[in-house]
Structure 1
Amino acid sequence: MTPITLVEGRRISLSNLDKVLYPETGFTKGEVLHYYATVAGHLLAHIHDRPVSFLRYPDGPDGQLFFTKNPPPGTPGWVKTTPVPRSEDLRAEQVVIADLPTLMWAANLVVEFHTPQWPAGAPALADRLILDLDPGSPATVVECAAAALWLRDRLTADGLHACAKTSGSKGLHLAVPLEPTPSEHVSAYAKALAQEAERELPDLVVHRMTKALRPGKVFVDHSQNAAAKTTAAPYTLRARTLPTVSAPVSWAEVEACRTLSDLVFLADDIAPRLARDGDLFAPLLDPALAGRLP
């Protein structure tokens, strides 16, 4: 029988809690749920009032992966959704993770959480800018850190406040809080910034996705600022070999990065980091730090 758990008055079926999802560490589905419950306050703050896309991996990262924007089959009636008009379906809706019960229901599906750069009710009006720094082998997060520092300083020169987090995969994400700005304007600025980085750091950075250009360099992916694109949310688990997290990091940690392991964080690392440092992505939530593009 599937156990029923009461979360803030909502009855939620939690299944297969002993199922091992990450064989290298023995990390189970129950531990996935515990992780999300532990970081709920911070994760919910960052995905608040945003349509959420799910990357599901119910049999672990080595199993089949499903990416969906539509509410999954069986979504409870109490789960909040928001209209998200898409070119192929003007009546489309997506889930909004509005509270702890919804988070636990979604976590039971075994998911990564991805959000756009705009809130519900304001499609294509971005309140953040994202740069995804993706290393091409043999480059690693070490090279991403070097590129991130240049980009941070360049953004600062334009009066913008950048925060960094690990992607939870191979690279880094930079995020900038913005006054609400049309997505096409954010995209144009981000592309110009990536092109400038390539001109200034030609041995380190590329701004195009072309595979032949990327070995040993950092691809500064500006495309996630397009209205239709999404980015892994802060504190989401990732469908990788290990239970890695897209973890906010300090600029001191970025500056000190010398090896691949310096900027890799697992689920069990996050609660101690939050206790020590608080939410290093909190500036994204501070209206006073929201910048205006030049």
Structure 2
Amino acid sequence: MAPITEVEGRRLALSNLDKVLYPATGFTKGEVLHYYATTADALLPHLRDRPMSFLRYPDGPDGQMFFAKNVPPGTPGWVTTAEVPRSAGAARMVLVQDLPSLMWAANLVTEFHTPQWLVQAPAEADRLVFDLDPGAPASVVDCCRVALWLRERLAEDGIEAHAKTSGSKGLHLLAAVRGASSARTSEYAKGLAVEAERAMPDLVLHRMTRSLRPGKVFVDWSQNAARKTTATPYTLRARREPTASAPVTWEEVAGCRTPGRLEFRAQDIVPRLRDHGDLLAPLLDPARAAELP
């Protein structure tokens, strides 16, 4: 029998707490749930009102992984769901609005992925995102150089950029925007990716041409499309170790000389929140959202 836990008045069956999900470090499912419980105050505002896509890895990163957008079978009635427009017709998706829903979703062992729009206004993008993805031997150190260039370029257009690690090899840049569709935001982001490639041709690619990837940073602008999602801030990733998608300061980006400097694991996040608070909190302030030029 799975132990029944009560979270804010909701009864939850949490299963297989001793199961090792990250064999490289022995990190268990119970520790995954503890991580989400202790980072919930920072994580939840970035999940709230965004339809969630589940990248599930119930047997750890070496097991089967599967991506699901629709409401999973067996979802409790108290978990918020919403009809969401999709190209193939409306679909019902999960909204993680509170701590019980977060713990229920975490118990499914999933990476959290969310779109750049809110369920109340699916036709309007409220985030601009760049996924900086290094092709070996390039690393996150090279992504940092590109991020600093993009930060300055965005600032010229009155847009304030914030950075987080992807939790994998690269870096994500995020900005709060308003007043434009996902298609318009994608077009703007693509324009900047092309500019970055022109400015740094030895370092940057704006197309995902596999043969050109080694030693370059692919500036993926395509996650601005309405149907696309990006790993949510603070989500754990299905990697060898329990790495998190961690917000970072611009000082850390500018000072990054070795890839290890921008690798953060589950146990690093609570101390970082104590030291910095949520570095991505400005994204949640509507007054700081910029209009695209």
Length-normalised TM-score, structure 1: 0.99
Name 1:61's counterpart in structure 2.
61
> How much has 1:123 moved relative to structure 2?
1.5
Write the distance in 1 (CA, Å) between the matches of 2:179 and 2:167: 27
Counterpart of 1:51 in structure 2 is 51
1:207 is matched with which residue? 206
One-letter amino acid of the structure 2 residue matched with residue 32 of structure 1: V
| Equivalent residue letter for 1:195 | V
CA distance in 1, matches of 2:188, 2:199: 16
Quick one: which amino acid aligns to residue 234 of structure 2? Y
- Aligned positions of 1:257-276 closer than 5 A: 257-276=256-275
Task: Determine the C-alpha separation between the residues in 2 that align with 1:289 and 1:98.
Answer: 23
CA deviation string 1:58-115 (max 9, x = no partner): 000100001000011100111100111212233x110000100000000000010000
Is 2:141–2:257's contact at 8 Å kept on the other side of the alignment?
yes
- 1:77 & 1:278 partners in 2: Cα distance? 33
The superposition leaves residues 167-223 of structure 1 with CA deviations (integer Å, 9 ceiling, x where unpaired) of 000000000101142111100000000000000000110000011111101000000
What residue in structure 1 maps to residue 7 of structure 2?
7
- Contact 2:162 2:173 (8 Å CA) reproduced: yes
Equivalent position of 1:75 in the other structure: 75
Q: Is the 8 A contact 2:163 2:174 kept in 1?
A: yes
Gaps of 5+ in 1: none
- What aligned pairs does 1:20-59 form with structure 2 within 5 A after superposition? 20-59=20-59
Aligned residue for 1:39, secondary structure, equals helix
Aligned to 1:286: 285
Correspondence for 2:140: 141
Query: How many Å apart are 1:47 and its aligned residue?
Result: 1.1
Question: In structure 2, how many angstroms separate the alpha carbons of the residues matched to 1:138 and 1:289?
Answer: 37
Between the aligned partners of 1:127 and 1:134, the Cα distance in structure 2 is 22
Q: Output the aligned Cα RMSD.
A: 0.7
Q: For 2:269 and 2:152, how far apart are their aligned partners in 1?
A: 27
* C-alpha contact 2:4 2:11 (8 A) present in aligned 1: yes
User: What is residue 118 of structure 2 aligned with on the other side?
Assistant: 119
> 1:160: which partner in 2?
159
How many Å apart are 1:287 and its aligned residue? 1.6
Deviation of residue 124 (structure 1)? 3.2
**2:249 paired with 1:250:** yes
Of all paired residues, the percent bearing the same amino acid is 70
Aligned residue in 2 for 1:229: 228
More divergent stretch after superposition (172-181 vs 227-236): 172-181
Moved more, 111-120 or 122-131: 122-131
CA distance in 1, matches of 2:167, 2:187: 26
Read off the aligned partner of 2:38 and give its amino acid letter.
T
Shift of 1:281: 0.6
Equivalent pairs counted in the alignment come to: 293
Q: Which structure 2 segments of 5+ residues have no match?
A: none
TM-aligned CA deviation for residue 125 of structure 1: 1.0
| Residue type of the alignment partner of 2:159 | L
Letter aligned with residue 175 of structure 2: V
Paired amino acid for 1:5: T
SS in structure 2 at match of 1:114: strand
Mapping of residues 103-114 of structure 1, within 5 Å: 103-114=102-113
Which residue type is aligned with residue 70 of structure 1? N
The CA deviation string for residues 156-175 of structure 1, in whole angstroms up to 9 with x for no partner, is 01100000000000000000
- TM-score (structure 2 length as normaliser): 0.99
CA distance in 2, matches of 1:56, 1:257: 31
Residue 175 of structure 2 is matched in structure 1 by 176
